[in-house]
Amino acid sequence: MSMSKPVMKEILQRAKNILDEYLNDQNLRKTAERYSVLEELYYLPQDEHIDVETLFLRMRNKEYTISRATVYNSIDLLVECGLVVKHNFKDKNALYEPALTYEHHDHLVCNNCLKIKEFLDPSIEEIKKRVGKSVGSEIKHHSLVFYGDCTIENCENLKRKEVVSS
Amino acid sequence: MSMSKPVMKEILQRAKNILDEYLNDQNLRKTAERYSVLEELYYLPQDEHIDVETLFLRMRNKEYTISRATVYNSIDLLVECGLVVKHNFKDKNALYEPALTYEHHDHLVCNNCLKIKEFLDPSIEEIKKRVGKSVGSEIKHHSLVFYGDCTIENCENLKRKEVVSS
DNA sequence: GTTACTGCAAATAGTTTGCACCTAG
DNA sequence: CTAGGTGCAAACTATTTGCAGTAAC
């Protein structure tokens, strides 16, 4: 709520402008709810991803009055206009994060504590180009997720059972 | 049902052996259902992925008597022992494919017709190694999905609306 | 004023669970 | 014989939908 680093404010402003433009172009209405959802998502600290229900409850606990349905609708719209990214990590429900906040990055999900880390390795772009050319597709987006066991000694919250498959 | 190329039979046999071993190790029972689900999945042609409901219906339409719950249970078990891979493609429900059938590959989902193509680009392995080393994680699996617009002229089934985000 | 958007509650879809019965070991 | 597994139906969870009321333009 008060965690507004200058950098963030600037990025949020950019995001709002893009949303303005998109709503204008598509003849959609500039409702308070759409901007609140955008703002709330852009206030997420780096490495944090949020699901609809949590976002809804978080907003309800603040000054906002918003319904679950509207959170779903707004967030979909934000994904459509490219301001928010949706992730479908294995065995989790959909998680969202702001798209403009940081450079493009991919994700590493810890098999043990289920925490999500972000990483960036530019050579994925080369693979995209190579594959796109070879199969005749103009690749627009990608999703790259690694699943690994962290090498941290006593990874605090081992939510998975010990049953390892081999 | 009768599409049993020699290669496939051989791979299926390998899969069955692995399942045998796994069930032995874990003191689980060798039920007919578990083997039927395995078989049915291994009969899928390349590039085809199947969801639980379709698999269930398909089995019901054959000689099998199996319940939905058992399909869910068995398929989970097959994923755990590494014989089947589960995918969570964007906006689709969980899809499964045999793990032993072909070399490891990744997927390209067409934004227009939603078809799934498979591709293989070995340099993803280098990224895995590099990232794993840098963040201190032993990366076990990965999921790489590209989303692109095919450059085929009149891609037959345009299921998506034309609304493009920019 | 008109029409899109919102909130609510009911509906849906995919998956999980509880429990009586069955069967592999 | 006796757990573990199966089938069925009911429960649950995430998301979508229908509709009456509200507000953006």
- Tell me the residue length of chain B: 166
User: Is residue A142 marked as binding?
Assistant: yes
* CA A126 – CA A131 distance, rounded (Å): 9
CB of B30 within 7 Å of some strand C atom: yes
Residue A156 pLDDT > 70, yes or no? Answer: no
Return mean pLDDT, chain B.
87
Confidence of residue A150 (pLDDT cuts 50, 70, 90): confident
Exposure letters A56-80 (e unless 16+ CB within 10 A, then b): beebeeeebebeeebbeebbebbbe
Q: Calculate the CA A27 to chain-centre distance.
A: 26
Residue A141: list chain B partners with CB under 8 A. 146-148
| DSSP assignment string, A123-139 | HHHHHHHHHHHHHTEEE
**B87 labeled part of a ligand binding site:** no
A5 pLDDT band, cuts 50/70/90, is low
pLDDT exceeds 80 at position A142: yes
Tell me what percent of the residues of chain A surpass a pLDDT of 70. Answer: 86
Asked if B119 reaches chain A (Cβ–Cβ under 8 Å), the answer is yes
Which residues are in reach of strand D, CB within 7 A? Answer: A 23, 29-32, 51-53, 68-69, 72-73, 76, 93-94; B 27-29, 31, 33-34, 65-70, 73-74
CA separation, residue B2 to residues A141, B6, B44, B55, B87 (Å): 39, 11, 12, 17, 27
Q: Could you read off the pLDDT of B104-158 as tens digits, one per residue?
A: 899 999 887 778 999 999 999 999 999 999 999 999 999 999 999 887 665 654 4
Interface of A with B in 41-80 (CB under 8 A): 80
Q: What is the pLDDT of residues A11-30, one digit of tens each?
A: 999 999 999 999 999 999 99
pLDDT at B112: 78
The reply to whether A81 sits in an annotated binding site is: no
H or E stretch covering A142: strand A137-150
- Please tell me which residue lies nearest to nucleotide C14, judged from CA to C1': B93
Lowest mean pLDDT among A45-54, A152-161, B54-63, B123-132: A152-161
pTM: 0.86
Mean pLDDT, chain A, as a whole number? 87
The mean per-residue pLDDT over the stretch B70-94 comes to 94
Q: Cβ separation of B108 and A144 shorter than 8 Å?
A: no
- Does residue B159 register a pLDDT over 50? no
Sign of the Cα pseudo-torsion (A98, A99, A104, A108, in order): positive
Check whether B89 has a pLDDT greater than 70.
yes
A71: which nucleotide lies closest, measuring CA to C1'? C6
A159 has a pLDDT exceeding 80? no
Interface probe for A, chosen from B77, B88, B129, B166 (most Cβ of A below 10 Å), is B88
Q: Give the model's pLDDT for residue A108.
A: 95
Q: CA B101, CA B118: separation in Å to the nearest integer? A: 13
Q: Which residues contact B146 (CB under 8 A, 6 or more apart)?
A: A128, A131, A132, A137, A139, A141, A142, B106, B107, B108, B109, B119
Gap between the Cα atoms of A124 and B143, Å rounded: 13
pLDDT tens for each residue of A87-124: 999 878 899 999 998 678 999 998 877 789 999 999 99
Report which DSSP code applies to A111: T
> pLDDT per residue over B73-83, tens digit each?
999 999 999 99
Average pLDDT, stretch A146-158?
71
| Domains assigned to chain B | 5-98 (1.10.10.10), 104-165 (3.30.1490.190)
**Worst-scoring range by mean pLDDT, B1-5, B80-84, B100-104, B136-140?**
B1-5
Q: What is the pLDDT of residue B111?
A: 84
The percentage of chain B sitting over the pLDDT mark of 90, rounded to a whole number, equals 70
> What is d(CA A19, CA A15) in angstroms, rounded to the nearest whole number?
6
Predicted confidence at residue B121, as pLDDT, reads 94
| Contact indicator for A79, A85 with CB cutoff of 8 Å | yes
Burial profile B134-157: b = 16 or more Cβ within 10 angstroms, e = fewer? ebebebeebbbbbbbbbeeeeeee
A28–B contact, CB cutoff 8 A: no
Integer angstrom CA distances of residue B150 from B47, B77, B153, B163:
16, 35, 8, 17
User: Is A24 part of the contact surface with chain B (CB cutoff 8 Å)?
Assistant: no
Q: Do B146 and A123 touch (CB under 8 A)?
A: no
Question: Average pLDDT in the B42-59 region?
Answer: 94
**For chain B, what is the HEC assignment?**
CCCCCHHHHHHHHHHHHHHHHHHHHCCCCCCHHHHHHHHHHHCCCCCCCECHHHHHHHHHCCCCCCCHHHHHHHHHHHHHCCCEEEECCCCCCCEEEECCCCCCCEEEEECCCCCEEEECCCHHHHHHHHHHHHHCEEEEEEEEEEEEEECCCCCCCCCCCCCCCC
Is the separation of the CB atoms in B150 and A136 below 8 Å? yes
